[in-house]
Amino acid sequence: MSTRPIVAAPSEAVAEVVFDATMQERVSDVLRRYPTTRAAILPVLWLCQERYGWISPGVVRAVADRLGESTAFVEGVVSFYTMYYTRPPARYVLQACTTLSCAWCGGRELVEHLKGRLGIDFGETTPDGTFQLVGVQCLGACGTAPVIQINDDYYERLDANRLDAILDELARRR
Amino acid sequence: MEPVLLRARGVTDSQAIATYLAAGGYEGLKKALAMAPDAVTKEVLDSELRGRGGAGFPTGRKWSFVPKDHPGPRYLICNADESEPGTFKDREIMEYDPHQVVEGIAIASYAIRANTAYIYIRGEFLRWTRILEVAIEEARRAGFVGRNILGSGYDLEIWVHRGAGAYICGEETALLESLEGKRGFPRLKPPFPAVVGAFGKPTVVNNVETLACVPHIMTRGAHWFASIGRPRNTGPKLFCVSGHVERPGVYELPLGVTFREIIEEHCGGIRGGRKLKAFFPGGTSAPIMTASEVGVQADFDACAQAGTMLGSGGIIVLDETVDMVEVAANVAHFYAHESCGQCTPCREGADWCMDILDRMTHGHARPADPETLLRICRFSSNGMTICPLGDAYALPISSMVTKFREEFDRRIQTATPLPQKKLPVLPWLGPRPGFGL
């Protein structure tokens, strides 16, 4: 299993963010792809999420400063999209598809099982910070329903047994 | 029919450029570069290729709208934001044959004289983002991308731009806003992107599957392409079938095949020997069809004639066990979550439909509910909103209420009064809007 855990920087560590040389270089590399600096906002936010694990208010300010935008503008962009974590995520974010094909092909039962096993509801994290459960809309893998995305990876054609084995393995790794 | 777009599925190492070249890859680009850009557009126009993203607009005509005398840069965008519920075909192309997409982009960019192309891919598709990046790099090293491609003097850069989770960004003008680093709010048209698109410049936005057809049109000719399917509905099409069939998956078939053939023959019929109840012909944005309409041809014109649309070719099959009120509630949740919030009929309407359908599912239907749903949908469709998302929730929901009215009425007969306390969220449905991370 290749799913890497998310390592989220503690809030204090990203209260104020200064991009180091590596980050600056990556940002410059992104900037040369577009005719405007504003177009780099989404890719730079991705670089930050990769680096810090989430988009803290400090990260938003750093991105805004680097790209010459207001904090409010960058914040507006961040809040429009669902994939930027605005709070430190758990090590494994379980994103269960709740849309039609998944829901009607075992997804509903799978979500019930997951909630029971983890003792949490959508939007919640297990007390040990290992798993976070999120209900998401269509992941575009309807032919292999039901599907759960764990961090960056898709897990398809799931049933309760397979999912349990996957979660056991992930939990053991911490 | 012999596979065209999916010919590499199952082939060892199919993602690699060597495999693609061995199968005659990049011959279409070579041929195109030896022609005048307008001749390339003419070839695509003659093939009668229609956009595979959902709208079915003739691709060649879209290209021809780009002003010829525009001095500044132009852009070609490959729309890989595949997000329509029930659609998973572009992923299949990117997984097995990414160079087909890269070559299609190069040919299309040449035809509209664009020197920069972006692939806008949905944020969740990180695996396929990486696959495309590798393919572009391979193509660059082989001289198919970059400066002076194959000595023709034509330059092209291709960049992959990753979205961040928003269904609406699959709509072409919302995509452009998102590419420019903004919230994905659709733009009013006109001006159309072909005139004022990305960064204010002429831009063509084409779906992955559309672009994947282009190399084949170049190598095998417009007439070959037009000979597949039926007039004005030409070429091979990827149908993604999900839901209650024995063999869900992506099937490549000529346009014009019937839904019956797709469901019964190719997908092995309804799972467990059950009966077909209904199906969405092209994602949940397309009005639902009943079992009695299964003989309709799966193409743009036949679907339009039947009062629905082929959309993306995402066929969601529902068997006799499903409760249509619950299905409608699920669909409403999706659109209430994905409405960008610019236009009142969509932002409020999708939410109201979700509230009403949730309440009905909980057993508290009111006599006026079906008519209220239809009225909300009427005020949100046929040009009442900036982009088609208003129609995308209103038309399927009203079709479900109309075609399965007895199920909605039955909910009224068995309803109990609404309790005073707040209703719990249906446990199997997604979080309500604003309840994300």
**Residue B372: CA atoms inside 13 Å, Cβ hemisphere, count?**
17
- Give the pLDDT of residue A174: 59
> Above pLDDT 90, what percent of chain B?
93
Query: Across residues B46-62, what is the average pLDDT?
Result: 96
Q: Alpha-carbon distance B217 to B309, whole Å?
A: 25
Do A156 and A101 belong together in one domain? yes
Task: Render pLDDT for A105-126 as a digit per residue (tens, 0 to 9).
Answer: 999 999 999 999 999 999 999 9
- Give the pLDDT of residue B437: 29
Do B134 and B282 belong together in one domain? no
Structural domain of residue B299, as residue ranges? 237-319
Q: Which residue has the tokens 């992104």?
A: A30
Q: Quick one: which H or E segment has residue B78?
A: strand B75-80
Do B68 and B215 belong together in one domain? yes
Taking a C-beta distance cutoff of 8 angstroms, is the pair B307, B261 a contact?
no
Q: How far is CA B222 from CA B4, B66, B299, in A?
A: 14, 21, 19
Do B94 and B146 belong together in one domain? yes
Q: Which parts of B35-125 fold into alpha helices (H)?
A: 37-47, 59-64, 89-96, 98-111
| Beta strand pairing call for A92-97 and A148-150 | antiparallel
SS3 A88: coil
Do A117 and A144 belong together in one domain? yes
Taking a C-beta distance cutoff of 8 angstroms, is the pair B100, B119 a contact?
no
Q: Counting Cβ atoms within 10 Å, is residue A147 exposed (0-12), middle (13-18) or buried (19+)?
A: buried
Q: How many residues does chain A have?
A: 174
Number of domains forming the structure of chain B: 3
Q: In this structure, what CATH number is given to the domain that contains residue B63? A: 3.40.50.11540
Interface check A87 vs B, CB under 8 A: yes
Of A80, A103, A132, the last residue of a domain is: A80
Do B335 and B360 belong together in one domain? yes
Q: Is residue A98 situated within a structural domain?
A: yes
Q: In this structure, what CATH number is given to the domain that contains residue A31? A: 1.10.10.1590
Of B204, B227, B250, the last residue of a domain is: B227
* ipTM tops 0.90: yes
Phi first, then psi: give them for residue B314, nearest 5 degrees: -90, 100
Task: Render pLDDT for B19-29 as a digit per residue (tens, 0 to 9).
Answer: 999 999 999 99
Count of CB pairs separated by less than 8 Å, A with B? 168
Chain B interface disruption, residue of A104, A108, A151, most B CBs within 10 A: A104
Task: Render pLDDT for B322-357 as a digit per residue (tens, 0 to 9).
Answer: 999 999 999 999 999 999 999 999 999 999 999 999
- Give the pLDDT of residue A163: 97
Taking a C-beta distance cutoff of 8 angstroms, is the pair A90, A129 a contact?
yes
Per the prediction, chain B carries an average pLDDT of 94
Query: Across residues B369-376, what is the average pLDDT?
Result: 96
Do B328 and B315 belong together in one domain? no
Q: Is residue A31 situated within a structural domain?
A: yes
Decide if pLDDT at B10 tops 60. yes
Per the prediction, chain A carries an average pLDDT of 96
CA distance B91 to chain A (A): 8
Do B294 and B329 belong together in one domain? no
Task: Render pLDDT for B380-396 as a digit per residue (tens, 0 to 9).
Answer: 999 899 999 999 999 99
Do A96 and A76 belong together in one domain? no
Do B206 and B256 belong together in one domain? no
Strands annotated E in B276-417: 276-280, 289-290, 314-319
Structural domain of residue A132, as residue ranges? 92-172
Task: Decide if A134 and B431 are in contact by the 8 Å CB cutoff.
Answer: yes
Task: Render pLDDT for A128-167 as a digit per residue (tens, 0 to 9).
Answer: 999 999 999 999 999 999 999 999 999 999 999 999 999 9
**pLDDT-based confidence at residue B434 (cuts at 50, 70, 90):** very low
Task: Render pLDDT for B147-160 as a digit per residue (tens, 0 to 9).
Answer: 999 999 999 999 99
Q: Is residue B310 situated within a structural domain?
A: yes
Q: Is residue B395 situated within a structural domain?
A: yes
Q: Is residue A5 situated within a structural domain?
A: no
Query: Across residues B56-81, what is the average pLDDT?
Result: 95
- Give the pLDDT of residue B211: 98
- Give the pLDDT of residue B423: 60
Of the candidates B85, B250, B429, the beta carbon closest to that of A138 is on: B85
**pLDDT-based confidence at residue B69 (cuts at 50, 70, 90):** confident
- Give the pLDDT of residue B138: 98
Interface check A103 vs B, CB under 8 A: yes
Do A35 and A73 belong together in one domain? yes
Which residues of A are less than 8 Å from B74 in CB distance? none
Query: Across residues B233-237, what is the average pLDDT?
Result: 97
Q: Which residue has the tokens 């609404």?
A: B418
Phi first, then psi: give them for residue B25, nearest 5 degrees: -65, 150
- Give the pLDDT of residue B431: 47
Do A48 and A110 belong together in one domain? no
> Above pLDDT 70, what percent of chain B?
96
CA distance B220 to chain A (A): 31
Task: Render pLDDT for B242-288 as a digit per residue (tens, 0 to 9).
Answer: 999 999 999 999 999 999 999 999 999 999 999 999 999 999 999 99
Task: Decide if B124 and A149 are in contact by the 8 Å CB cutoff.
Answer: yes
- Give the pLDDT of residue B422: 63
Taking a C-beta distance cutoff of 8 angstroms, is the pair B219, B103 a contact?
no
Q: In this structure, what CATH number is given to the domain that contains residue B300? A: 3.10.20.600
Taking a C-beta distance cutoff of 8 angstroms, is the pair B173, B189 a contact?
yes
Torsion of Cα atoms, B203 then B208 then B209 then B215, to 10°: 70
Do B52 and B143 belong together in one domain? yes
Number of domains forming the structure of chain A: 2
Q: Is residue B355 situated within a structural domain?
A: yes
Do A103 and A149 belong together in one domain? yes
Of A80, A115, A134, the last residue of a domain is: A80
- Give the pLDDT of residue B72: 85
Q: Is residue A87 situated within a structural domain?
A: no
Do B269 and B401 belong together in one domain? no
Do B122 and B198 belong together in one domain? yes
Nearest CA in chain B to A135: B430
- Give the pLDDT of residue B417: 82
Do B151 and B61 belong together in one domain? yes
Taking a C-beta distance cutoff of 8 angstroms, is the pair B96, B6 a contact?
yes
Do A69 and A97 belong together in one domain? no
Q: Is residue A46 situated within a structural domain?
A: yes
Do B338 and B276 belong together in one domain? no
Which residues of B are less than 8 Å from A100 in CB distance? 85-86, 243, 280, 284, 316, 327, 330-331, 334
Q: Alpha-carbon distance B403 to B258, whole Å?
A: 21
Q: Is residue A40 situated within a structural domain?
A: yes
Decide if pLDDT at B420 tops 80. no
Task: Decide if B242 and A40 are in contact by the 8 Å CB cutoff.
Answer: no
Q: Which of A86, A104, A82 is nearest to A149 (CA)?
A: A82
Do A68 and A104 belong together in one domain? no
**pLDDT-based confidence at residue B106 (cuts at 50, 70, 90):** very high
Which residues of A, range 122-151, sit inside 8 Å of B by Cβ?
A: 122-123, 134-145, 149
Taking a C-beta distance cutoff of 8 angstroms, is the pair A101, B86 a contact?
yes
Task: Render pLDDT for B167-184 as a digit per residue (tens, 0 to 9).
Answer: 999 999 999 999 999 999
Q: Which of A51, A132, A122 is nearest to A90 (CA)?
A: A132
Task: Decide if A35 and B437 are in contact by the 8 Å CB cutoff.
Answer: no
Query: Across residues B191-205, what is the average pLDDT?
Result: 97
SS3 B180: coil
Q: Which residue has the tokens 């972006």?
A: B118
